[in-house]
Chains A and B, each alone.
Chain A
Amino acid sequence: MNHLEPIHFVAAEDSAQVDNILEVRDLNVAFRTAQGHVHAVRDVSFSLRRGETLALVGETSSGKSVTCLGLLGLTPPAPYCTISGSARLAARNGKTYELVGTPERVMRQVRGGVASVIFQEPMTSLNPVHTVGAQICESLRIHLGMKGRAATDRAAELLNQVGISDPKRRLTNYPHELSGGMRQRVMIAMAIACEPSLLIADEPTTALDVTIQAQILELLQKLQSDNRMAMIYITHNLGTVAEIADRVMVMYAGRIVEKADVVELFTRPQHPYSRGLIHSVPRLHSGRVRKTPLFAIPGNVPDPAAHPPGCTFGPRCGHFEPGRCDAAVPDLESARPGHLVRCVRWPEIEGAA
């Protein structure tokens, strides 16, 4: 395959595929560290439709962030990091890009233009010595070739779109003059400046106060529906997932352990880890008896350099069966249409609480 040329789909075999803006197959990301070879992401496959929100849920070292960093080529270069597999991203103009193994030159066009990222800490993502306006205009210049007045006007328009009042004045502010919520809005404005088809949000609201978090979530949803932009939302906060996701992928120790529509996942979770997570979160709204012990998953996330044999969740699982669960890593099976789970015992656990 010639990686210098974008790939063109001549004819779509599956009509649903035309609507898929992202197709990831068998994505693997491994790091070379002092502790040895760390396989941070294993065999991740998923697809994403235009306008859809996919939530990647997981805890530390689940591989959720690395998956997206790997997709956009933001991981360290070889030999410290090796990425294999395939990820095809469709731009709005019909061009398709293969993201794995693509030279940096092409990736630079992709980043910001076709796919954007917003991170958790807007203070460190924004350059403190440039004004907000300068940073947005830079993105416009690089990807759309806009300059001068046209760029500034568009920048002000973007700030307005993300809900910042008095946008003309805000363009001249420096990042430290803005509050956390506003900085995150600026990040979002920069991310959508070139109308990407995919937005990756890596824990965008974790560092924000809860009232601001609610505003940002609402903003993201509005932008998505206005621009028909697909979003991958990475988080460890299940509540936000329930609020904005269409589909959910639960990751544990580098693998997908469950994939389903959001309602299906929260009402009928199959994997013991997903169940554990959902039941361990204290609830405010749904009536639950207070001051009683929560369900808690025992133990800790395994060391990325030393995974247990077979199912990596085994040592912490209440349904662990020696001989079955530690024999081999379970495959992703279909529990119901559209609902995949990586557990050999899921049919037996179905009935149990």
Chain B
Amino acid sequence: MSATQTVSLAVPRRSLAQRYPALRRFLRHKPALLGLCVVVFMTLFSFAGPWVIPFNATDTDIRARLMEPFAGAHVLGTDPLGRDVLARLMYAGRISLSVGFAATALSVLIGVLVGLVAGFYRGAVGAVLMRFVDAMLCFPSIFLLLAIAALIEPSVTSIVVLIAMASWMEVARVVEGQIRSLRERDFALAAESLGAGDIRIMFRELLPNAVAPIVVAATLNIAHAILSESYISFLGYGIHPPTPSWGNMLENAQSYLTNAPWLAIVPGVAITLTVTSFNFIGDGLRDALDAKLDR
């Protein structure tokens, strides 16, 4: 019997859910699904919301200042200048979420590059890079951020860069560990035996297999970035008014805690919900993408 006649009996293709067990596992993780819904809602809320509501984040109306929520036309009340809190929340959400996503994207970019090179070349190069990462991790990020924020002109861009600078190390660590172990696998050796160059092996062979932990780290980074922006702005060094962000809304609400608590509660709840949701998504992704469960 000729081997070529043995056209192997085909393994039947299974459904999408069966082919991507990770997707199925993610869909079973209730907190993660909830988190995803909340995040999607908050994103739509912030970016599409302003078209829907009649008010504007910057129109002041002194006669309607400090109105309570659910009392009148302003669903979430007004601030000391009579601006609609709901509208401000939405615009602030745009800023905070954008900063979160952008800072994460940048930190992932830097972290992946550093981790990839360190994990692939190991030896002296790897050691030096990772010690640098360790050194950066030793800086208490809060103080680092504040110190630099105090020195430079704050703007959305600078905040994004700053937060990215404080969070790329975690990604680098994760990537370096993954790449270092993937490099020993047979398929990496096979790629080398085929004559593949270093760049090809790093980006086409190894990196796609490290995507799972990177995605998890990135998701958790978004949560961290939003939180970082909030407290930098809260401490006065971040986004400056009149541009609203959830952080500086909190800062502005400090002096009104007793008579207008909703000014603090509303952005506070927004931050908490969003950050927690990203954390849940990250957890769900981590469980779903657990490599041991895949074959």
Contact = CB atoms under 8 A, between A and B. Distances in A.
Contact of B12 (A298, A299, A306): A306
A296 B9 contact: no
Given A34-B21, A34-B24, A299 B3 contact: no
A316 interface: yes
B24 A316 contact: no
Interface in A269-312: 293, 295-296, 298-300, 303, 306
A295 B1 CA distance: 7
A124 interface: no
Nearest to B1: A296
B9 A315 contact: yes
A296 B11 CA distance: 19
Prevailing SS type, chain B contact patch:
loop
A353 to B, nearest CB: 13
Contacts of B1: 293, 295-296, 298
A316 B8 CA distance: 10
A283 B15 CA distance: 43
A293 B6 CA distance: 13
B259 interface: no
Interface residues of A, number: 12
A76 to B, nearest CB: 16
Contacts of B18: 35
Contacts of B8: 298-300
Nearest to B6: A298
Contacts of A300: 8-9, 11
A282 to B, nearest CB: 15
Contacts of A34: 21, 24
A303 B11 contact: yes
A293 B5 CA distance: 13
Interface in A136-191: none
A296 B12 contact: no
B8 to A, nearest CB: 7
Nearest to B18: A35
Nearest to B7: A298
A295 B12 CA distance: 26
A229 B9 CA distance: 43
B27 to A, nearest CB: 12
Nearest to A298: B6
Given A35-B18, A296-B3, A298-B1, A316 B12 contact: no
A346 B59 CA distance: 91
Contacts of B12: 303, 306
A293 B18 CA distance: 37
A50 to B, nearest CB: 41
B81 to A, nearest CB: 56
B9 A316 contact: yes
B15 to A, nearest CB: 11
Interface string A311-343: 000011000000000000000000000000000
Interface in A34-51: 34-35
Interface in A1-58: 34-35
Given A35-B18, A293-B3, A298 B11 contact: no
Given A299-B9, A303-B12, 13 more contacts: A34-B21, A34-B24, A35-B18, A293-B2, A296-B1, A298-B6, A298-B8, A298-B9, A299-B6, A299-B8, A303-B11, A306-B12, A316-B9
Interface of A: 34-35, 293, 295-296, 298-300, 303, 306, 315-316
9 contacts: A34-B21, A293-B1, A293-B2, A295-B1, A296-B3, A298-B6, A300-B8, A303-B11, A315-B9
